Amino acid sequence: MTSTFVTVGVVGLGTMGAGIAECFARAGISVIGVEAGPEALARGRGHLEDSTGRALAKGRLTEAARAEILGRVTLTTSLEDLADADLVIEAVPEVMDFKRAIFTDLDRICKPSAVLATNTSSLSITAIAATTTRPGRVIGMHFFNPAPVMKLIEVIHTMVTDEGLAEEVAELARRLGKTPVTVGDRAGFVVNRLLLPYLNHAAVLLESGLAGRDDIDTAMRLGAGLPMGPFALLDLIGLDTSYEVLSVLFQESRDRRHAPAPILRERISAGLLGRKAGGGFYGPGEHADTSHTSHTSGAPGPSADEPSPKRVAVLGEGGDAFAARLADEGLTITPVEEAEAVLALSSVPVIELAPRLPHPERLVGVHLVGEGVAEVASTVLTDPRVARAVQSLVRAAGRVPVPCRDRAEFVVDALLYPYLNDAVRMYDSGYATCEDIDVAMRLGCGYRQGPFETIDALGLETVRDGLRALYAEYREPFLAPAPLLEQLVAAGVRSFRDRP
Ligand code: CAA
């Protein structure tokens, strides 16, 4: 049975559903949008008008084109209006009972040839399909927030999906100007299985006091080059949605990495669901900094009566270049005994250097990340005034300081390496190719590189060593380097692209 997809229904017009409806309407396809009642319908209309209004304001759409797009969308509160739709996409909250009820109704209402798709982020499509009399015509079509902007659609087939249907839906995705990645039915698919554990890990580390909210967001944006920090992104996705996805992942894996951080549950209970609710990790009027050149950090600078070191010692690998940069700023580089502040550019725990120093309270770890960030790690002995002064030095040297505690791999690598490890495990499991995983993370999350491109750029051994250090520190099984990574390093393979 070949599908033509002339009319598409979208059930649920929240952030995602409205965005999905816009994608189809922009591609010239007629859309019937369904919501539960008049208030929700009005909100859905509002989402569509706001999103296309923003494009109009930016000169990306003419008034006429906007009117055409909006004119292709019919809004209704009756599922019965979907009787003639060729494809229906369900985009209601991540609750299996809601989805099952809707699919039972759609199966009764829609013509037998219609394809029933779900935008679920993590729930079993096989289980949803089983509630219908046409499991072969049920498929996953997973969009990313904001749907009109993000270029990826995950197409998810089950064991019983009709042959050829996944390719037809992938072709439809291409008609929308998107890139499809087709995979089987596993909780979280590609992107959420890699993204959500990383976001959760950030929440766990925030709760542990490793670094502050703004500093972690800044570190991941400017240090790792991601489009948004993890807390800004949790607010965009919704804390409730993130919690539901993690719960499904945890149910399948029983892996602590997927156990939702208590800080998420606490905020959700307080009604802090993210942008859609007016606040999540960031408050309603508070905006995460999204610039890529910001030189501000949440950390306060030193006050006038605090020490401002003029003589510093710089220890460790890469120290000479950084010392030269500080000398350019007028600082005197001295031996350790004569310094006021001692900057340790070292990946071993900074505190291990303290017993050798005459003034361990002047010791601060400095970890240079990329071209623009320096993590500034205080040990248990560091004088907070010295730590603040070092943050100022780092700023003067042209880097954004990210104050943090002295823990293995500090902030950026502590979050990045486990995500890379998860990607290696996913590939090794046979679920998706390295290329598909890279494309999915680039287009689904707006990353500059996919995880395998990142591993290749950093070096397999560097990533393996970082994971070993993290595992030695935290003893969490998920931090142990994936066996495939260990083996590729042992075999001298330098790049995932060169693997046999
Ligand atoms: N709706 C429609 N358009 C939007 C939008 C929205 N909510 N937000 C931004 N845009 C558009 C803007 O109009 C702009 O379009 P033009 O280039 O045509 O002018 C474009 O997106 C870029 O926006 P901005 O310049 O305002 O902002 P930016 O450059 O900071 O980009 C961003 C914003 C696209 C959201 C970017 O920060 C990004 O890529 N972030 C990562 C988002 C991400 O990871 N999404 C996936 C989440 S996971 C998920 O959704 C799956 C799930 O199941 C949980």
Q: Is 15 in the pocket of ligand 1 (CB under 6 A)?
A: no
Q: How far is the CA of 447 from the centre of ligand 1 (A)?
A: 12
> Residue 236 CA: which ligand 1 atom is closest?
47
Residue 230, H or E segment: helix 230-237
DSSP secondary structure string for all residues of 34-54: E-SSHHHHHHHHHHHHHHHHH
Whole-angstrom distance, CA of residue 142 vs CA of residue 150: 11
**Which regions of 107-248 does DSSP assign to beta strands (E)?**
115-118, 138-142, 152-156, 179-183
Q: Which of 48, 149, 193, 243 to mutate to test the pocket of ligand 1 (most atoms within 8 A of CB)?
A: 149
Distance separating alpha carbons of residues 12 and 20, to the nearest angstrom: 10
Contact between 34 and 9 under an 8 Å Cβ cutoff? The reply is yes
Q: Ligand 1 center to residue 445 CA distance, Å? A: 9
The pLDDT value given to residue 291: 58
pLDDT in tens, 132-159: 999 999 999 999 999 999 999 999 999 9
Alpha carbon 317 to chain centroid distance? 31
The whole-number pLDDT of residue 295 equals: 43
CA distances (Å), origin 486, targets 420, 464, 468: 13, 7, 10
How would you list the strands of the sheet with 179-183, edge to edge? 73-76, 30-34, 7-11, 87-90, 115-118, 138-142, 152-156, 179-183
Q: Give the Å distance between the CA of 145 and the centre of ligand 1.
A: 7
Among 162, 89, 146, smallest CA distance to 120 is for 89
Ligand 1 atom, smallest distance to 444 CA: 46
Active site residue 121: yes
Query: Virtual CA dihedral for 185, 190, 194, 197, nearest 10 degrees?
Result: -30
CA 490 / ligand 1 centre spacing (Å): 40
pLDDT of residue 284: 85
pLDDT for res 456? 97
Distance CA 43, CA 14 (A): 8
Atom 5, ligand 1: which residue's CA is nearest?
146
Question: Does any ligand 1 atom lie closer than 6 A to the CB of residue 292?
Answer: no
Going from the Cα of 147 to the center of ligand 1, the distance in angstroms, rounded, reads: 8
- What's residue 319's pLDDT? 79
146 upstream amide cis, omega within 30 of 0: yes
CA of 373 to the centre of ligand 1 (A): 24
Pick from 449, 455, 443, 458: which is nearest to 497 by CA? 455
- CB of 220 sitting under 6 A from ligand 1: no
Active site residue 308: no
**Tokens in use for 136?**
């072969």
| Six-digit token string for 63 | 């008034």
Which ranges of 383-459 would DSSP assign to H, the alpha helix?
A: 384-396, 412-428, 434-445, 451-458
From the candidates 51, 121, 200, 378, give the one annotated as an active-site residue.
121
CB of 149 shorter than 6 A to ligand 1: yes
Ligand 1 geometric centre to CA of 433 (Å) = 26
Residue 278 has a pLDDT of 81
Q: How many residues does the chain have?
A: 500
Give the helix/strand (H/E) hosting 464: helix 460-474
**Hey, whose CA ends up nearest to atom 33 of ligand 1?**
227
14: helix, coil or strand? coil
- Does residue 142 have an active-site annotation? yes
For residues 440 and 152, the answer to whether their CB atoms sit within 8 Å is yes
The atom of ligand 1 lying closest to the CA of 148 is 2
Regarding the beta carbon of 146 and ligand 1, being less than 6 Å apart is answered yes
How buried is residue 81: exposed, middle or buried, by Cβ count under 10 Å (0-12/13-18/19+)?
middle
Tell the residue number behind the tokens 């935008």, with chain if given.
Answer: 119
Ligand 1, atom 53, lies closest to the CA of 121
Tell me, yes or no, if the pTM score tops 0.75.
Answer: yes
Q: Which of 154, 375, 409, 453 is catalytic?
A: 154
Given the residues 3, 124, 192, 346, select the one marked as catalytic: 192
Smallest CA separation from ligand 1 atom 19, residue: 58
Give 240's contacts (C-beta < 8 A, 6+ positions apart). 93, 268, 273, 274
Q: How far is the CA of 144 from the centre of ligand 1 (A)?
A: 9
CA distance 19 to 479: 36
> Can you tell me whether residue 8 is helix, strand or coil?
strand
Return the sign of the alpha-carbon dihedral for residues 127, 128, 129, 130.
positive
> Which parts of the chain sit beneath pLDDT 50?
294-296, 298
Atom 21 of ligand 1, residue of closest alpha carbon: 149
**What tokens were used for 113?**
């040839």
Integer CA distances (angstroms), 79 to 24, 134, 140, 475, 487, in order: 19, 18, 20, 51, 54
Ligand 1 atom 52: residue of nearest CA:
121
Q: Are the CB atoms for 219 and 411 separated by under 8 Å?
A: yes
pLDDT at 306: 64
Summarised one tens digit per residue, pLDDT across range 8-29 is 999 999 999 999 999 999 999 9
Mean pLDDT of the chain: 93
Spot the catalytic one: 47, 142, 157, 258: 142
The residue whose CA has the least distance to atom 23 of ligand 1 is 149
